């Protein structure tokens, strides 16, 4: 079994003091959770402050986005190098909200992955279909296209540092999660696709699920052979819920 990764995406939520409160409680509740990677992605404005509160805890920091250039005249943007400097170890890339509201494409996602690896940030690359695409039976075609576009030009040595997040758009923030079987089907196919393209390293790459993950469904999701963790939105803003998700019930699993 791969080392599980549970990541909380706070999105555009929390002031600094709300973030401090959340982190203090999370630290308490995740003490001793050493067999898992726990990651939070607060808004940029809180990262610097929170990094000091997280020292000595198993919780790591992620950025919610980044810009592809190192520095320069790009008003309003933040580079991967700056995010590494402020204490991030991971960067979420290509979240469906970025694709939808900020016109990110597979091509920009690809550039952001390169930028992230250049700065030694581990990219958490998001893919997933809309409800219409699922209804039209296009799920696998869509995620395949997104993966191919996102990973264009990356060799196996680079791919091994990625985390892939399967996040069906219809499940994000809706309270309707994909069933464990629906998620496993896509994860399994993604793993096969990565194996075809990159060989054995694909077996060591974590594929996490996102979309209405809650304390009530995490155990079942994590029992699936190809679900290696979760990307959590709404429930990551509640310390008790997020800690319970991070302390999911472990069950033995074997991949076919």
Least separation in angstroms between residue 41's CB and ligand PGA is: 9
Q: Is the Cβ of residue 201 or residue 235 nearer to ligand PGA in the bound state?
A: 235
- Cα dihedral: 113, 115, 118, 122 (round 10): -40
Least separation in angstroms between residue 236's CB and ligand PGA is: 7
Give the HSE-up count for residue 130: Cα atoms under 13 Å, Cβ half-sphere.
6
Least separation in angstroms between residue 225's CB and ligand PGA is: 22
| Tokens read off for 58 | 């198993």
| Annotated catalytic residue, options 95, 129, 184, 187 | 95
| Annotated catalytic residue, options 133, 167, 184, 187 | 167
User: What are the CB-based long-range contacts (under 8 Å, 24+) for 146-150?
Assistant: 146/94, 146/106, 146/109, 147/190, 147/193, 147/194, 148/106, 149/105, 149/106, 149/107, 149/109, 149/110, 150/93, 150/94, 150/106, 150/109, 150/110, 150/113, 150/125
Least separation in angstroms between residue 248's CB and ligand PGA is: 15
Q: Is the Cβ of residue 201 or residue 217 nearer to ligand PGA in the bound state?
A: 217
Residues near ligand PGA (CB under 6 A) are 9, 167, 172-173, 210-213, 231-235
Q: Is the Cβ of residue 210 or residue 229 nearer to ligand PGA in the bound state?
A: 210
Q: Is the Cβ of residue 19 or residue 94 nearer to ligand PGA in the bound state?
A: 94
Q: Is the Cβ of residue 125 or residue 201 nearer to ligand PGA in the bound state?
A: 125
The distance from CA 161 to its chain's CA centroid, rounded to whole angstroms, is 13
Least separation in angstroms between residue 252's CB and ligand PGA is: 26
Which of 126, 226, 148, 216 lies closest to 183 in space, CA to CA?
226
Q: How far apart are CA 243 and CA 25, in angstroms?
A: 9
| Known active-site residue 133 | no
Q: How far apart are CA 194 and CA 226, in angstroms?
A: 13
| Known active-site residue 95 | yes
Supply the residues annotated as catalytic: 95, 167
């Amino acid at each position: 079994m791969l080392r599980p990764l549970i990541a909380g995406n706070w999105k555009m939520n929390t002031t600094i003091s709300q973030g401090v409160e959340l982190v203090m409680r999370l630290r308490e509740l995740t003490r001793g959770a050493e067999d898992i990677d726990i990651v939070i992605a607060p808004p940029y404005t809180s990262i610097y402050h929170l990094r000091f509160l997280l020292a000595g805890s198993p919780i790591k920091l992620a950025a919610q986005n980044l810009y592809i250039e190192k520095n320069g005249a790009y008003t309003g943007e933040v580079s991967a190098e700056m995010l590494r400097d402020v204490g991030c170890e991971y960067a979420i890339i290509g979240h469906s909200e970025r694709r939808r509201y900020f016109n990110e494409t597979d091509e920009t996602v690809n550039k952001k992955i390169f930028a992230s690896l250049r700065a030694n940030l581990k990219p958490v690359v998001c893919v997933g279909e809309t409800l219409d695409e699922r209804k039209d039976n296009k799920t696998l075609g869509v995620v395949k296209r997104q993966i191919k576009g996102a990973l264009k030009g990356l060799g196996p040595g680079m791919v091994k540092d990625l985390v892939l997040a399967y996040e069906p758009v219809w499940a994000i923030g809706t309270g309707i999660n994909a069933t464990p079987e629906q998620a496993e089907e896509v994860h399994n196919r993604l793993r096969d696709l990565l194996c075809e393209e990159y060989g054995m390293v694909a077996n060591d790459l974590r594929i996490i699920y996102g979309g209405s993950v809650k304390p009530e469904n995490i155990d079942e999701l994590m029992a699936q052979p190809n679900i290696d963790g979760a990307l959590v939105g709404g429930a990551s803003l509640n310390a008790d819920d997020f800690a319970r998700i991070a302390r999911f019930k472990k069950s033995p699993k074997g991949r076919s």
